[in-house]
Chain A
Amino acid sequence: MSQKFSLREAERKAFTISFDDGLWDIFLGCFFLEFVIAPFLSERLGDFWSSVIFLPFWGLVYLAIWLIRKYVVKPRIGLVKYGPARTAKLKKFTLLILLINIVVFILGVIALFRFGVFSTQIYPIILGLTLLVGFCVAAYFLDFPRLYIYGLLLACSPLVGEWLYTYRNASHHGWPITFGITCSIMILTGLIIFIRFLRNNPIPMMETSVEGR
């Protein structure tokens, strides 16, 4: 056996194999599509409604992914209940993400009261840093290295967008271009991984993996 095999590696493999099917990439890509489409909608609907309109869209995407996971992925990959170490790690992750959101919210409120409105320089930096930190935390706790790349791409999107807006006269602060490219990369990566997953994992004939009803 040439590969190093340790308990930690076994645990990591048992965890990642259960969700590395590309569906998270697709979901995250669809989630950030808001930044691509909402700027166009905001001209007609205003900032608030152009964002709210995405809630049912996210709900539909989440429902579709949940159904695909239940009826397409699970029968192919099987079921697992994680051990106490992973469960504790996931709890820590949830708390940390919650904490990041609270800190960002507080910072946002402070910035709003101090500057009145978000300046075009501050807003892309706060957004970029938040996305980077959030995705790095998720990548670390979920053993999901692709999230580092997605975090970096998403963090660069508002900054590059602002640059395009200032120096190349791009519309809507350049967000449709930069976030559009990032979301396309995420969704395409997810689709490729999902298709490869389906090809490599046919449904076993001898057993089922559907939980008791």
Chain B
Amino acid sequence: MVDPISEPGLHPLANIDQVIHAPARLMVLTYLYVVESADYIFLMKLTGLTWGNLSTHLTKLEEAGYVELLKEFQGKKPHTIIRLTEQGRVAFRIYRKSMAQVLDDLPD
């Protein structure tokens, strides 16, 4: 059986960045793309994600090198500032372009 994504017509889909493609991570990256930096609570409020959920997605984005997390402690509570890295910014631009290209090429 032929993998549909590897077929020539759908080839651009195979190049879509799977780290960014998850809706929650896409949302997080979109917000980080338009601001210089935000802290954990601000991102939670913006995205509507729970603490654990956001933490999981940020870990994946950090592992991919797309975001950097600057953590400090105020008393016993952590304060985390999140910033998009240059690599993350470039990856997000490529993702936007790829998606636009894939969707534009779809027949009506």
User: In the docked arrangement, what's the CA distance between A7 and B30, Å?
Assistant: 7
Give the chain A neighbours of B51 by CB distance below 8 A: 204, 206-207
B33 contacts A7, C-beta separation under 8 Å? yes
Give the chain A neighbours of B39 by CB distance below 8 A: 78-80, 207, 209
B31 within 8 A of A: yes
A13 within 8 A of B: yes
B46 within 8 A of A: yes
Nearest CB to that of A206 among chain B residues? B51
Chain B nearest CB from A205 CB (Å) reads: 8
A83 contacts B30, C-beta separation under 8 Å? no
Nearest CB to that of B41 among chain A residues? A78
B42 contacts A79, C-beta separation under 8 Å? yes
Inter-chain residue pair count (beta carbon < 8 A): 90
B18 within 8 A of A: no
A211 contacts B36, C-beta separation under 8 Å? no
Query: Known: A13-B46, A14-B46, A207-B51. Contact between A81 and B35, CB under 8 A?
Result: yes
B49 within 8 A of A: no
What is the total number of residues of chain B having a CB less than 8 Å from a CB of chain A? 26
A207 contacts B40, C-beta separation under 8 Å? yes
B45 contacts A81, C-beta separation under 8 Å? no
User: In the docked arrangement, what's the CA distance between A209 and B30, Å?
Assistant: 21
Chain A interface size, as a band, is: 20 to 34
Chain A nearest CB from B67 CB (Å) reads: 14
Give the chain A neighbours of B46 by CB distance below 8 A: 13-14, 17
A94 within 8 A of B: no
A77 contacts B72, C-beta separation under 8 Å? no
> What 0/1 pattern do residues 55 to 78 of A give for CB contact below 8 A with B?
000000000000000000001111
B35 contacts A77, C-beta separation under 8 Å? no
Given A10-B30, A213-B74, 17 more pairs with CB closer than 8 A: A7-B30, A10-B31, A11-B35, A14-B35, A76-B41, A77-B41, A77-B45, A78-B38, A81-B35, A81-B36, A81-B37, A85-B34, A207-B41, A208-B41, A208-B74, A209-B41, A210-B74
Which residues of A line the B interface, CB within 8 A?
1, 5, 7, 10-11, 13-14, 17-18, 75-86, 201, 204, 206-213
